[in-house]
Structure 1
Amino acid sequence: MSVEARAESVRMGGNLGSWLALGAATLLAAGSLWFVFYDGLSHMVRGWGQEEYNYAYLVPLVSAWLIWQKRGELAEIGVRGAWAGVALVGLGLFFAFFGELSTIYTIIQFAFIVTLAGLVLAWFGWRGLVVLAAPLFYLVFMVPLPDFLYQQISGRMQLISSELGVAMIRLFGISVFLEGNVIDLGVYKLQVVEACNGLRYLFPLLSFGFLCAYLYKGPLWHKILLLISTVPITIVINSFRIAVTGVLVDNFGIGMADGFMHFFEGWVIFVAAVALFFAQMLVLARLSGRHGRLSDLLRLELLIPQRPAGGVDTSRLLRPSRPLLASVALVAVTAVAVASLPERQEIIPERRGFAAFPMQVGDWRGRELILERRYVDALKIDDHIYADFRHAGDPAVVNFYVAYYGSQRKGASAHSPRSCIPGGGWEITTLGRRGIDGVGPNGEAITVQRAVITRGLSQQVVYYWFDQRGRHLTNEYHVKLMIFWDAITRNRTDGALVRLVTPVTPGQTLDSADARLTDFMREVYTKVDGFIPG
């Protein structure tokens, strides 16, 4: 055998050994990752069934394709594993472990992306991580927002779209009045519900905008501007949709609303938003002195299949680095640790239902009200009471509302009135904490969030707090932190929101309304404790 043939045989044998080592490491890593992150990833995929996240099925495929297109650059870099990658993998697994204990799936989902980035760093080093940074970051767009954050963004988007939509309607000379999310055209009223918040267009447009900014041939500030612009573009398009609906209803009746809204759902609006996005890209290019077609502004070679010049010497990628092998071993050990955890069935305490709540509380007599099923379903409430209580001799009422959740892990959680109040057309003019004396079981003071809200000439005072597993809380972010802590330490996430509202009647002052709420709270506080587990 010639020297050349023998060298070739040795090289082939070495490549085969590298292939086998890399294949074994890949299979072990993939299996371990799947086991560690299964709960979070399966919950994420189920979330893609919502209209707002339908686009997310494509995100991992696009990310994988972008990574494949970078194989030439990775081959030039070669295997330059960094031990910092092991630390990053450990950080991702740490968060995954606590996400598993608390079953807060968003933590697990982001931890998965961090772990993937750590594996890349452990395999290709810092230069490799920089090369693949954008495709890896793109995976962020496949993670659904936590429910409490979604609700806050949704409420703001509804209000902004309503206000801008009404301004557009007035441009047509139509008299229109806006109360929160309700557009009053006189004969007809249109409510800008959650389905009209525009998020079903914003999320896919953000994903698309990031991809286009990545491909765009231009300075960094252009790329940032393109990505940020997806938010106002979505709001303008959604507001235009609302405005045209209002104009059609004013001229042709309410029957036109359903037909138009149905036609302008989904792809029609999204295509219009994409057209505006590309128009902005062309304007930016013209302002910077570049002329040509839209395709000339994008690095389409990053998307179009092509073989790098001179081919790709994959042999440089076959050798798994020692940091990569250590990272894979760490993932495998974590998988074993997760498997050894006892199965945690969330504890949902037994309790009395609000159907048994008394309608006579001290000198206060109540009348139970009906909360529409669509609100119950939207809020994902397990049990609630919604009633007006009146004190003898006082014409004003105290509206009493308690929403109870047996579990706040999987997207269902108490909504802060701060997010919901503006949707009814009310403006929060004062918000702060206030101590109420003589309320607790032993007469101790209890702190509430107090809000003064106005709508036109009407004014109301609101007290609210969160009753969470024996804790009396007034800050919604503190509530989220305690849900996470108690999910790990007590395996419980049940809790409730308690809200009291009373009007400031003509001739009365805010002090009169506060006195009414304080009196009722002293009577009802200990009664509520009997229906919410401590």
Structure 2
Amino acid sequence: MSSIIAFISFSAAWVLLYLDSFPPLIRRWNNEDYSYCWLVVPLALYIAWQRRDMLPPIKVPSVKSGYLALFFSALLFFLGKSAAVDALVFASMWFSILAVFLMIYGWKSMKAMFFPFVVLAFAVPPPPFINRLLTFKLRLLSSDISVRIMQLVDIPVYREGNVIDLGMIQLHVVDACSGLRYVFPTILLGLLMGYWFNTRTWQRVTVLLATIPTAIATNALRIAIVGFLARNVSVETAQNFFHDASGLIIYLISIVVLVALSLLLNLFSSDVTDRPPERVGFIPTEKKSGAIHVIIAAIVLAGTFWAHGEYLSGRSIPDRKDFDSFPLQFNGYSGEREFFEEEILESLGADDYLSGRFVDEKTGREILVLVSWYDYQEPQRAAHNPVSCLLGGGGWALSGTEDLPPNPSSGRDFKIRRMLLEKPGYRLLAVYWFQQRGRVMTNEYLNKAYLALDSMLAHRTDGGLVRVEMLLENGETVEEGQKILDRFIRDFSTLLNPYIPD
């Protein structure tokens, strides 16, 4: 009876705490990049069921470890909510389940259930910027290999970063590269293949290490097939293959490759294989029940829910001017405002924004500006490092990034982050800074730390992100271009105070 009460209590507290996190988690799972997450929970439960007989006959709760994992999950929840990082909240869900397992079964049982918990961790989607930055270089490498394959079979092709030009068709590999969309599920697949088909540790590690090269190679093959179809069949057939079924087909090829590798590695094993652990039937016992600790865990989760409402609710939003009134002519600069489409606005998640082109009336140099403002920041709508956005398309490659200290001689009295992006024939100089609640920062993690602190102490999570870009001319050095940007930033930043209040 006590076990039933403990289960109901914890389940109710768990749902109460994470209820408002389910919609963003489902939205992430519905995203094509993370749709594999729908299969993770059933897979983890299936593997746990397979390994149930490996549980020791007597439960020995690990109370201290369970409470440590529980309080760590509460900490992740607070950090995720206050710093607007939903991946931390999702990780908190995982740790809370781990905590209850330790309170009931203990570390001796973890040997049997370790792998199911590893699989379950794949249900936590990584932050989008990590996914974009991780796969960007992989996509470039995949694109380069595909171009070499096409050149090997005499298909004329030209590549600019992640854009492949076949003459009659252009492939924007970052925007529509569904083959490398399967990087994370391919890693999960490698874990499962090693678990199901191999018995030795070195074999399983080999299969796991082969997942990334497999994803790159199969995606390069996919792009090469598109080039072959465009030249020898029709552009329409190539486009349909590239955008429709090719990603799934290539993923199926990845499965075949990894299964074949797993089976091949078994040929190199000696006749004496690792004996699986002796399975003994699980005999439930109340001798060392963890029910009372599970009930306490439910109380801790309920307390976390109360504390969240007490310290992180009631946001204070400062008065400010809307960017509709921002001056487009100032100190020799003439600007023209631009407006985003609804899809881009939804991705940006800002409450107000300024996007435009400003021209120096004396020199004719054009400077691009994007300022996003958030009344309050929370997971899925917060200022973030723009590097992944700049690398998201157009063939740009990041060739250098650094922090620039304040430059009083130019009138810029705060630090900024500079990036140099290049593609054949072009160089883009971009700078950005976080301007939030009276602070100017360039470090995203420091910004998140202050966001969490201000959220709890001042009930404020408002703030903005400022991005300024300019194309460099032929022969112009980065430092020469930086002087031009610094002069613009000096005049532009002084106008921001009513729009991004302290």
TM-score by length of 1: 0.82
Q: 1:500 aligns with which of 454, 468, 472?
A: 468
Q: Contact 2:6/2:294 (CA < 8 Å) preserved in 1?
A: no
Q: Which amino acid aligns with 2:443?
A: N
1:305-320 mapped onto 2 (5 Å cutoff): 312=281, 316-319=283-286
Q: Which amino acid aligns with 1:121?
A: L
Partner of 2:154, secondary structure, is: coil
1:78 aligns with 2:52: no
Q: Distance in 1 between matches of 2:394 and 2:383?
A: 18
Closer/same/farther in 2, CA of residues 43 and 419 from structure 1, 3 Å limit:
closer
Q: Contact 2:472/2:481 (CA < 8 Å) preserved in 1?
A: yes
Q: Contact 1:60/1:139 (CA < 8 Å) preserved in 2?
A: yes
Q: Contact 1:98/1:488 (CA < 8 Å) preserved in 2?
A: no
Q: 1:111 aligns with which of 87, 92, 100?
A: 92
Partner of 1:431: 401
Partner of 1:150, secondary structure, is: helix
1:532 aligns with 2:461: no
Closer/same/farther in 2, CA of residues 61 and 217 from structure 1, 3 Å limit:
same
1:131-530 mapped onto 2 (5 Å cutoff): 131-196=112-177, 198-265=179-246, 267-288=248-269, 312=281, 316-319=283-286, 321=288, 323-336=290-303, 338-339=305-306, 341-342=309-310, 344-369=313-338, 375-422=344-391, 423-438=393-408, 445-506=413-474, 508-530=476-498
Closer/same/farther in 2, CA of residues 98 and 239 from structure 1, 3 Å limit:
same
Higher relative contact order (CA 8 A, sep 6+): 2
State the 1:184 CA deviation: 1.7
State the 1:128 CA deviation: 0.9
Q: Distance in 1 between matches of 2:228 and 2:216?
A: 18
Q: Distance in 2 between matches of 1:152 and 1:413?
A: 18
Closer/same/farther in 2, CA of residues 115 and 394 from structure 1, 3 Å limit:
same
Q: Contact 2:52/2:112 (CA < 8 Å) preserved in 1?
A: no
Q: Distance in 1 between matches of 2:241 and 2:422?
A: 34
Partner of 1:496, secondary structure, is: strand
Q: Distance in 1 between matches of 2:288 and 2:17?
A: 23
Closer/same/farther in 2, CA of residues 41 and 336 from structure 1, 3 Å limit:
same
Question: More displaced, 106-115 or 399-408?
Answer: 399-408
Q: Distance in 2 between matches of 1:408 and 1:152?
A: 22
Q: Contact 1:387/1:401 (CA < 8 Å) preserved in 2?
A: yes
Question: What is the RMSD of the two structures over their aligned residues, measured on CA atoms?
Answer: 3.3
Q: Contact 2:62/2:103 (CA < 8 Å) preserved in 1?
A: yes
Equivalent residue pairs, number:
498
State the 1:394 CA deviation: 0.9
For each residue in 1:81-106, what CA deviation from the matched residue of structure 2 results, as whole angstroms up to 9, or x when unmatched?
Answer: 22322333333234335545556432
State the 1:524 CA deviation: 0.6
Partner of 1:24: 5
For each residue in 1:316-341, what CA deviation from the matched residue of structure 2 results, as whole angstroms up to 9, or x when unmatched?
Answer: 31417355522432322431452473
Closer/same/farther in 2, CA of residues 319 and 270 from structure 1, 3 Å limit:
same
Partner of 1:231, secondary structure, is: helix
Identity, % of aligned pairs? 27
Partner of 1:452, secondary structure, is: strand
Closer/same/farther in 2, CA of residues 383 and 97 from structure 1, 3 Å limit:
closer
Q: Contact 1:123/1:320 (CA < 8 Å) preserved in 2?
A: no
Closer/same/farther in 2, CA of residues 491 and 245 from structure 1, 3 Å limit:
farther
Q: Which amino acid aligns with 1:83?
A: V
The runs of 4+ residues in structure 1 deviating greater than 6 Å are 296-299
Q: Distance in 1 between matches of 2:348 and 2:386?
A: 12
TM-score by length of 2: 0.87
State the 1:134 CA deviation: 1.0
State the 1:178 CA deviation: 1.5
Q: Distance in 2 between matches of 1:372 and 1:172?
A: 41
Partner of 1:17: none
Partner of 2:256, secondary structure, is: helix
Q: Structure 2 regions of 5+ residues with no counterpart?
A: none
Partner of 1:9: none
Partner of 2:380, secondary structure, is: coil
Q: Which amino acid aligns with 1:128?
A: S
Q: Distance in 2 between matches of 1:94 and 1:476?
A: 20
Partner of 2:371, secondary structure, is: strand
1:49-128 mapped onto 2 (5 Å cutoff): 49-74=30-55, 76-84=56-64, 85-99=66-80, 104-128=85-109
Q: Contact 2:179/2:219 (CA < 8 Å) preserved in 1?
A: yes
Q: Contact 1:404/1:496 (CA < 8 Å) preserved in 2?
A: yes
Partner of 1:132, secondary structure, is: helix
Q: Contact 1:439/1:446 (CA < 8 Å) preserved in 2?
A: no
Q: Which amino acid aligns with 1:434?
A: L
Q: Distance in 1 between matches of 2:82 and 2:343?
A: 33
Partner of 1:13: none
Partner of 1:402, secondary structure, is: strand
Q: Contact 1:63/1:135 (CA < 8 Å) preserved in 2?
A: yes
Larger Rg: 1
For each residue in 1:462-494, what CA deviation from the matched residue of structure 2 results, as whole angstroms up to 9, or x when unmatched?
Answer: 322222232211123323333333333344434
Q: Which amino acid aligns with 1:468?
A: Q
Q: Distance in 2 between matches of 1:421 and 1:529?
A: 26
Q: Distance in 1 between matches of 2:9 and 2:337?
A: 59
Closer/same/farther in 2, CA of residues 493 and 177 from structure 1, 3 Å limit:
farther
Q: Contact 1:157/1:198 (CA < 8 Å) preserved in 2?
A: no
Closer/same/farther in 2, CA of residues 491 and 182 from structure 1, 3 Å limit:
farther
Q: Structure 1 regions of 5+ residues with no counterpart?
A: 1-19, 303-307
